[in-house]
Every structure is written in structure tokens, then in C-alpha cells.
Amino acid sequence: MPPTAQSLLARLRSGRVRILWLVLGALLLVSALPIALYHIQVLQLSQEKLVDTEKVQQTELTRSLAQEIQLFESNLTQQLITERQILALAGLIDDVEDPAVEPKVTSLLQYFVESNRNTFIYLTAVGKSGKGTSASQGNFQAEKDPFVARALQRAFVTCLQSQQLQVVKFRSDPLALAPEDRPAFVVAVPLKDVNDNFTGMLAAVVSLAPILHRLQDASVRGRTVFVVDHGGHIVAHPDVKNFVPGADASGNSLVAQVKALPQELRSTETIRFTETDKKNSIEMIGTYSTFPEVNWAVIEQRRLDQAQSDTGVTELNKQALAFVTVVILAAILVGYFFAVGISGPIRGLAASTRAISRGEFHQRSPVRGALEISELAENFNKMAGDIEEYIERLKEAAEENRELFIGSIRMLAAAIDEKDPYTRGHSGRVAKYSTLIGQELALSAEELDKLRISALLHDVGKIGVEDRVLKKPGALTPEEFGLMKQHTVKGANIMRPVSQLKEILPGIELHHEHVDGRGYPYGLQGQQIPLMARIIGVADTLDAMTTNRPYQSAMDLDYAMDRIRALAGSKFDAAVVNALESAVNAGKLRLSAVEVHV
């Protein structure tokens, strides 16, 4: 076996393979992409062809139906005009209201209705006064249907004004006839004598049943074909239950376009649009064809997925998806073995990285996988070791800085206490008592640390108080007490320039505030006083009571606790006092001889 092959085999056995071979495995997976893109392109072309075919079919159908409906309406009008001519030839057109001619007129009307049972439901001839005779199919009574009655009234008014308005005929808006909401409309022509004077009106209620049947026959295989007027109202729809004649259909995208067109424009257009059905978007393709002679439009619409199913595009989609799925699964199966070689080591590196981000700097990554990845793991482990060593040095430096900081705070507190022999050790004891109270209140370690530092520095402002006031053995005058009270604000001002100590300032500045608002320097009340200041206030008072002062002798702990409990709720926070009492009862807070005597 050649050396190169032996070297490659050795690397394979050790799990250290060049990343080139892994890339070749990835390329095997990518080989399925061109096939998928090819099929997507073919399907896209097929869909475009489908849309073109559907456009042609819809255009032909809507135009054909528009011509049929236009011819239907024209024939109706012509039949009505023919009936008017028959009345004229029979000498009955001059006065159809005349009781003498009424039987003949009624007979002619009834014969006309019987001869056109598929279209004419009702026919009436009225004179100048609006009275006359009529004929109808079955028991239909126009006067009992308010919509039909109003349409006939409008027809009479229009025919009455026909000479001035030059009206040849009248056609009403679409009507829905009870009880099944059958589509219909009223059409009328004026009656005139030989001198072209108005003598009455010949009007008919026309059924659109033939048109409805034609629409129902065309609405198959997912197609819906219906007729609307230019106002966007349904004229006839195959789904009579849900689309009543005369109902507004402007919410439909095709109907909205028809409504926006000029009425005199003849237009045919196909568009793709989206409808929402139960919050689901459905892609549609539809065509409208207007015919201005009637001011109506034929509309056909169809779901695009149904059109695809009819033309075999759906089946082609399934076959293409199956083929591409097989190819992709085969590529994934082959590529899996290559992917294992690169993903395993990378996962190890990722796990080591996450461990280091959690502070586990001892974590190391196993050195295996591709040659480049193995080198990366070795460098990573070296970097982790360097970081671990550097972090340890930082921790040591931080601890030294902290000890130096705390030592400086203690020295500053001791220096403050040394100004007055009666307060020697006061700041340390207040810090100790405050910490015990904070522990009873379940404060976090970080909060306890801030509390302890604030308590150590709570009297730092006494540096700015004159010795004659600070060391005066007797009671202070009001003026001197006013100077003494300034130590809280002065202390906060001294520490405020140090940004790292900004969170301990409330304990320094506000530890003499009372919960009843009678404290100083600002007279804050209750929860307005930070918890840190409320704790230090209680601890400060406890130490003042249990140590000798120029103005009093040291009290024992029980007596001091009684005095503090008596002030809970007025001077002190009751919760803080309870925490202090818990520490005392648990034996955590005891007074030594050093604390009681100076």
C-alpha cells in the first residue's frame, strides 16, 4: 500500500481526517439541490401554463354568458314591445282602463303569460291613472310583495315621464321573489296612442330562472359563475341560499373592480386575488366580463388549487416531491457518516466553550476529528489554560484590593471614633449589630456587605463637627445640637464623590430619620426611609444605650431592648426591631465588657 494511502488510513483510524473529505460529503448532500431546483422550475412553468389556460377558458365562458344574458334581456324587451303592438292593433292601447275593453286586455295578457311560462311571471297593463288589469302564473300577486310593488311604481313614474326623458323602457334592480328568493326583475314599456301621447304602461315581472339554470350548469368543478350589476349587487347566483338577489357583494375583489368601472365600458379582465375563509387565505383566479347594454357583468372565479388538481399539476407536484425526497434521503444517509466526523468534535468544542462561559475554566476539549479541528481543539485547550491562570491572578488581585478597601474603611471608622473617647469602637459595633439584623431579615450577601460598609461609615460626617461640640461632656444647647445634626449630610457629601460608594450613602445620610417623620435631616416617613438607614438607626441606638456616654451610664441589654421595643412604630421600623429581638433571643447578639464600659 502506498505511503499516502497508509497515512490516510491511519488518519481514518485515529479519527483525524482532513476537512476536505468532510466537505466532499457535504457536496454529496448538495447534489440533491439542482434536482429540487429543476423540479421547482418545471412546476412553476406548469403553474404559469395552467393560469394561462384558465384565463382563456374563463374569458371565453364569461363572454359567452354575457352575450347569452344580453340576448335574453333583449328578447324579453322585444316580446313586451310585440305585446304592446298587439294591443295597438286590437285597438285597446288608447284606454286599457276602460271596463268595456278590460276583458279583452286581460285575455291577451293571460295568453302572453301562458305562452312564456319560463320567463314572464306577471304582466300588467295600466292606464294614465295607474289602474288597469293584469295576468300572472299561479297565485302570484305583485301587490303583496312590497319590493315588486315599489318597482312597478317606479316603472310607472318612468313611463309617465318617458316623453320628456326619452325613455324607451324601464328595468328595475334585481329582486328576490318569495318564498325561495328566486331572482327576477321588472321590465316596462310606455303605452302611447297614434299621436305619441302617453296612455299607460305595459310592465312585466320577469324570472331569471333560465339564467340561473345556465349559471348552475357552468358552476362545476370548483367554478362559481354569477351575475352582478354595476352597483355591486347580486343579480343571480347559483348559491341562492347564501347570495340573495339584490344583496351587496362589493367585498369580492372582482365585484369591487366591476363597481369601479364606468358603466358604459365593455371590459373583460382576468386577475389573481386572495380570499379569506375561516382565517385561511385562499388563492383565487377570476374573470369578469361587462356588457353595458344591461349594465351587468358576468363573473367567474375558481380556487387555484382546484384548477391545479384538474390539470394534473397536483399529481405532478406529488411525483416531483416523492422523487426529490428519495434523492435527499439517500444524500443524507451517505452524508451522515461524513457529518459525524465534523459535528462530534465541534460539539465537544461548543460544550467546552459553554463550560468556560459558566466559569469552569478547568474544562478542556477532547482533541479528535479533522486535522484542522484537532489543531483548533489543541489551541483552545491552551487558551483555556491561559485564561484559567489569568483569572486566578485576577481573583487574587481582586481579593487583595477588597481587603485593602475594607481595611481602609475600618481605619477611617476607627479614626472617627478616636475623636471622642466615649465612642471608641462605636462604628464597628454598629456594623456588627446591623449585619446581625440584616441576616435576620434574610438580606443577600451583597446587600449585607453594603450594609456593613455603610454602618462602618455612618458617622464619617463627624469629621466636620467642631471638637467643642463633639467632645462636650454635658448636654448640648439647641445651637450645638443643630451643628451635631449636620454630621449626616456632611458624611454623605464626603463620600458622594466616590462613585463606588454611592449605594451606601442612604445609610450615612438617613440613619437618624424616624418612621413617624420626626427625624432628621429631611423628616422622611415610613417606607420613604431606605431599609439600610432603618437598620443602622436601630443598631446605632442600641450601641448608644449600652455604652457609657457623658450624658448617661450604660444600660443592660434587656433594659435597652425594652426601650427600643417601646419606640417601634414611631421612631423605629417594627420589622427591624423584631429582627433585632430575634437575634438577641437566638443568642447571636451579646454585649461584652468592652462594649459596656469605655
Enumerate residues 6+ apart whose C-beta is below 8 A from 239: 224
Domains in the chain: boundaries: 7-17+314-388, 47-68+212-309, 90-207, 419-596
Alpha helices in 287-364 (DSSP H): 304-311, 313-357
Section 96-116 average pLDDT:
90
Q: CATH number for the 90-207 domain, one of 2.60.120.560, 3.30.450.20, 3.30.450.40, 1.10.150.130?
A: 3.30.450.20
d(CA 438, CA 446): 11
Mean pLDDT for 155-179 is 81
pLDDT of 11 strictly over 60: no
- Using DSSP bridges, classify how beta strands 198-207 and 234-236 pair: parallel, antiparallel or unpaired: unpaired
Please give the CATH topology (third level) of the domain spanning 419-596: Hypothetical protein af1432 (1.10.3210)
pTM of the model: 0.48
Residue 23 confidence (pLDDT) above 70: no
Question: Cα–Cα distance between 349 and 373 in angstroms, integer?
Answer: 9
> Which of 241-250, 366-375, 586-595 has maximum average pLDDT?
241-250
What residues have CB less than 8 Å from 236, skipping those under 6 apart?
174, 183, 208, 211, 212, 215, 226, 227, 245
Q: pLDDT grade, residue 566 (50/70/90)?
A: very high
Question: Measured over all CA atoms, what is the biggest interatomic distance in the chain, rounded to whole angstroms?
Answer: 142
Q: What is the DSSP letter of 552?
A: B
d(CA 417, CA 421): 7
Residue-wise burial string across 29-49, b where 16 or more C-beta atoms lie within 10 A, e elsewhere: beebeeebeebeeebeebbee
Confidence of residue 188 (pLDDT cuts 50, 70, 90): very high
The highest-confidence range among 82-96, 152-166, 307-321, by mean pLDDT, is: 82-96
Using the predicted structure, report yes or no on whether residue 596 has a pLDDT greater than 50. Answer: no
Per CATH, 47-68+212-309 and 419-596 having the same topology is answered no
Flag whether pLDDT at 41 surpasses 90.
no
Q: What is the pLDDT of residues 491-519, one digit of tens each?
A: 888 888 888 788 889 998 899 999 999 99
Q: Which residues contact 98 (CB under 8 A, 6 or more apart)?
A: none
Q: Which residues contact 230 (CB under 8 A, 6 or more apart)?
A: 258, 259, 261, 263, 290, 295, 296, 297
* Dihedral sign, Cα of residue 537, residue 540, residue 545, residue 546: positive
Q: Report pLDDT digits (tens) over 324-342.
A: 677 666 666 666 666 666 6
pLDDT band at 598 (very low <50, low <70, confident <90, very high): very low
| % of the chain at pLDDT higher than 70 | 73
What are the backbone dihedrals phi and psi of residue 278, each rounded to the nearest 5 degrees, phi first? Answer: 55, 50
Residue 287's contacts (CB-CB under 8 Å, 6 or more residues apart) are 55, 58, 59, 61, 62, 254, 268, 269, 270, 271, 299, 300, 301
Question: What is the arithmetic mean of pLDDT over 534-545?
Answer: 92
Fold of 47-68+212-309: Beta-Lactamase (3.30.450)
Give the position of cell 464600659: 597
Cβ atoms within 10 Å, residue 511: 28
Cell of residue 151, nine digits: 318597482
- Rounded to the nearest 10°, the torsion over CA 528, 531, 532, 534 is 80
In one-letter notation, the amino acid at residue 575 is A
More confident residue, 493 or 467: 493
Q: What is the mean pLDDT of the chain?
A: 80
Determine contact, residues 597/548, Cβ cutoff 8 Å. Answer: yes
Return the C-alpha cell found at 442.
Answer: 434574610
Judge contact between 394 and 401, C-beta under 8 A. no
Torsion of CA 40, 43, 48, 51, to 10 degrees: -140
